[in-house]
Amino acid sequence: MEEKVKGSYTADNIQVLEGLDPVRKRPGMYIGSTDERGLHHLIVEVVDNAVDEALAGYCDTCTVEIARDGSVSITDNGRGIPVGKKKIVKNGKTVEVSAVEVVMTHLHAGGKFGGGGYNVSGGLHGVGVTVVNALSEWLDVEVCREGKIHRQRFNRGVPMKDLEVIGSTDKTGTKVSFMPDADIFETVEFNYDTIRTRLREVAYLNKGFTVNLIDKRDGREKNETFKFDNGILDFVEYLNRNKETLFPQALYIEKKLSDSEVEIAMQYNDGYNENIYAYANNINTEEGGTHLDGFRNALTKIINDYAHKNGMMKDDDKLSGEDVREGIIAIVSVKLKNPQFEGQTKTKLGNSEMRTIVSKVLTDGLGTYLEENPQQAKELVLKTITAAHARDAARNARELTRRKGVLESSTLPGKLADCSDRDPSTTEIYIVEGDSAGGTAKQGRDRRFQAILPLRGKILNVQKARLHRILENAEIKAMITAFGCGIGEEFDESKLRYDKIICMTDADVDGSHIRILLLTFFYNFMRPLIEKGHVYSAMPPLYKISKGKRIEYAYSDPELASKLDEMGRKGCEVQRYKGLGEMSKDQLWETTMSPEHRTLVRITMDDAFEADEIFSTLMGDQPELRRKFIEENAKLIETKDLDV
């Protein structure tokens, strides 16, 4: 094997493996796809080369610029691509070309394989800048190296001329500019925010590395710089920015161990979710892998050991992995020589040594932290013990409901005014906001087939509470027993006691909030109800228009206008309903409950993804977002499919 000395790279080290044709024929194989995602991957590929230079200690800045014509350039101050001559076989003949040309036109000619550094470059697919060249209408590369500025231009991967010297310089570095090929990509329009997200992540993962992003396109001029001196520690604090954290400062551990580098940052918040992001060589290993396993195993063991050792927990009690990860936000970033990526999307780290390495680094680092900060250690252990109790309670509650058959219980909730018909294919239940509207509805309904369940105030936000609290909630319990169909895994549509579940709330912001809380509950615990079209929203009128004895109702502003025109505006009296409670029992029946006159809107889940997003952004941890959404979409559900 050839000896290579760090930094003494020459053109001869470059191995030539294959040409570019396969890349243009099957771009998806190299960059995943040719949609927006694949397009943006081009930038990532080049930036990764700059990061490689940074990891090798030669580069501290990278600038990404979107030019006015929509092309992109990536400039770094690394060593520059080698420029020396190299013999290759071209069309059956041996010729001498520059190393730059070899790198740009030959897959796997990076010359860095098996050498020093961590080989981040080439990102997911290990082919880097060559692929960018192959998939660009044109590409310009400028290299500052050995005192000179060198330049070469390619069209669709083919060099237009040999590498030429265009000036002198005392700097080093590489600038790659390219226009993605519109014949290859579905779109060639770069999105500032997409690039921004990835570049910010790169900056977080490589502390001290400066990344500039500049947009020069007309009307969109913008620029930003990302540089994080505390790297992933800043990242964790950013992710926790809107949360109540357990400790004021996140824990940061960094260690180099046998050729690998491990960085861990972690911080607990008062939520119940677990968010651990694992990276290997700057690649987000979404499918996890050995580094993540090592982290999780060690975390569980350390906290259990500490709790036992300090008499906080009985010897035979044990905290589960879920308990110790409740409310955690952590980043585990490893850098290693020969990463093995496995799994469906090649984002699962396979190197088995990383399990032990990460585990050891966390055990040392977190172990020391706990020993040195007994107060914090105690709080953390108590938090995880609370989590364990809650999980126990939830388990018990679940078993209890199962055993007692609460789900099909014969004791219906006291507040329920049930219907007399027993055929579940013709009956309906109105979930009504507030006791007073509930009372009116009970008087106004057709008691043969209409049941009424009044809810007191807002129901629990099920995305923000633990299961046992959810099952203890009176309003939720009442719905579960009234519907009779069970929840979660035990959901059984055949036991459903009503064909229609109708949410009847006031036509205001509070009402739509309550309806969204209800839908969140159904979505999380009785999803088939929505999928099978059993859930509806009632539409109470917004206005009552009276003229003499004649009374009309309007359900929207345009309808009000046209009704007024129709009735002749003179002498019309308009009443705006502020809530269901303002209507008499007859009015409520006539406008909102009678199958003959009412409008029901079926809640659909056609676009499950969209719904999921609505529910999680809406019900997540950001009250601002939630409020904004409700204000903007107070009418959203009404504008969806109109049915029956």
Residue 122 contacts ligand 0RA per CB under 6 A: no
Helix (H) or strand (E) holding 475: helix 474-483
Which span (74-82, 202-210, 370-378, 434-442) binds ligand 0RA, by CB under 6 A? Answer: 74-82
Which span (79-87, 149-157, 158-166, 587-595) binds ligand 0RA, by CB under 6 A? Answer: 79-87
Residue from 27, 38, 110, 484 in contact with ligand 0RA (CB under 6 A): 110
Which residue number places its CB atom closest to ligand 0RA? Answer: 9
Minimum Å gap between C-beta 69 and ligand 0RA is: 21
Which span (19-27, 104-112, 303-311, 485-493) binds ligand 0RA, by CB under 6 A? Answer: 104-112
Minimum Å gap between C-beta 361 and ligand 0RA is: 29
Which span (73-81, 291-299, 487-495, 633-641) binds ligand 0RA, by CB under 6 A? Answer: 73-81
Minimum Å gap between C-beta 280 and ligand 0RA is: 21
**Which residue, among 464, 522, 500, 489, has the nearest Cα to 601 in the 3D structure?**
500
Q: Which residue lies nearer to ligand 0RA by CB, 203 or 583?
A: 203
Amino acid at 284: N
Which span (47-55, 239-247, 376-384, 469-477) binds ligand 0RA, by CB under 6 A? Answer: 47-55
d(CA 126, CA 318): 43
Minimum Å gap between C-beta 194 and ligand 0RA is: 20
Residue from 38, 43, 53, 260 in contact with ligand 0RA (CB under 6 A): 53
Residue from 23, 34, 38, 49 in contact with ligand 0RA (CB under 6 A): 49
CB atoms within 10 A of CB 532: 12
d(CA 214, CA 67): 8
Please name the residue that has the structure tokens 């509805």. 441
Structure tokens at 373: 């900060």
d(CA 643, CA 491): 25
Q: Which residue lies nearer to ligand 0RA by CB, 112 or 513?
A: 112
Residues in the interface with ligand 0RA (CB under 6 A) total: 17
d(CA 153, CA 256): 41
Minimum Å gap between C-beta 393 and ligand 0RA is: 56
Residue 11 contacts ligand 0RA per CB under 6 A: no
Query: ∠ CA(325), CA(329), CA(333), 5° rounding?
Result: 105
Q: Which residues 6+ apart lie within 8 Å of 70 measured at CB? A: 179, 188, 189, 190, 217
CB 296 within 8 A of CB 255: no
Please name the residue that has the structure tokens 């050839």. 2
Helix (H) or strand (E) holding 629: helix 623-633
SS (H, E, C) 499-540: CEEEEECCCCHHHHHHHHHHHHHHHHHCHHHHHCCCEEEECC
Q: Which residue lies nearer to ligand 0RA by CB, 81 or 387?
A: 81
Residue from 55, 81, 199, 278 in contact with ligand 0RA (CB under 6 A): 81
SS (H, E, C) 185-207: CCCCCCCHHHHHHHHHHHHHHCC
The 3-state DSSP class for residue 165 equals strand
Residue 46 contacts ligand 0RA per CB under 6 A: yes
CB 572 within 8 A of CB 545: yes
Which span (71-79, 214-222, 302-310, 539-547) binds ligand 0RA, by CB under 6 A? Answer: 71-79
Minimum Å gap between C-beta 146 and ligand 0RA is: 10
- Phi, psi dihedrals of residue 550, rounded to the nearest 5°: -80, 135
Residue from 38, 82, 231, 541 in contact with ligand 0RA (CB under 6 A): 82
The 3-state DSSP class for residue 374 equals helix
Residue from 27, 38, 78, 122 in contact with ligand 0RA (CB under 6 A): 78
d(CA 472, CA 547): 50
Site string for ligand 0RA, 150-189 (x = CB under 6 A): ------------------------x-x-------------
Q: Which residue lies nearer to ligand 0RA by CB, 78 or 294?
A: 78
d(CA 278, CA 256): 17
Residue from 20, 103, 324, 452 in contact with ligand 0RA (CB under 6 A): 103
Minimum Å gap between C-beta 204 and ligand 0RA is: 21
The catalytic residues are 433, 506, 508, 510
Minimum Å gap between C-beta 121 and ligand 0RA is: 7
**Between residue 464 and residue 493, which ones bind ligand 0RA under the rule CB under 6 A?**
none
Which span (106-114, 213-221, 367-375, 452-460) binds ligand 0RA, by CB under 6 A? Answer: 106-114
d(CA 45, CA 64): 12
CB 128 within 8 A of CB 110: yes
Minimum Å gap between C-beta 44 and ligand 0RA is: 12
Residue 383 contacts ligand 0RA per CB under 6 A: no
Instruction: Output the CA–CA distances (angstroms, integers) from residue 185 to 22, 133, 189, in the order listed.
Output: 16, 14, 10
Which span (15-23, 44-52, 252-260, 354-362) binds ligand 0RA, by CB under 6 A? Answer: 44-52
Residues written for the chain: 644
Structure tokens at 331: 């980043």
Residue 50 contacts ligand 0RA per CB under 6 A: yes
Residue 76 contacts ligand 0RA per CB under 6 A: yes
Residue 291 contacts ligand 0RA per CB under 6 A: no
Residue 129 contacts ligand 0RA per CB under 6 A: yes
Q: Which residue lies nearer to ligand 0RA by CB, 9 or 430?
A: 9
Burial of residue 48, with CB atoms counted within 10 A of its CB: 0-12 exposed, 13-18 middle, 19 or more buried = buried
Helix (H) or strand (E) holding 609: helix 608-619
Q: Which residues bind ligand 0RA (CB under 6 A)?
A: 9, 46, 49-50, 53, 76, 78-79, 81-82, 103, 110-112, 129, 174, 176
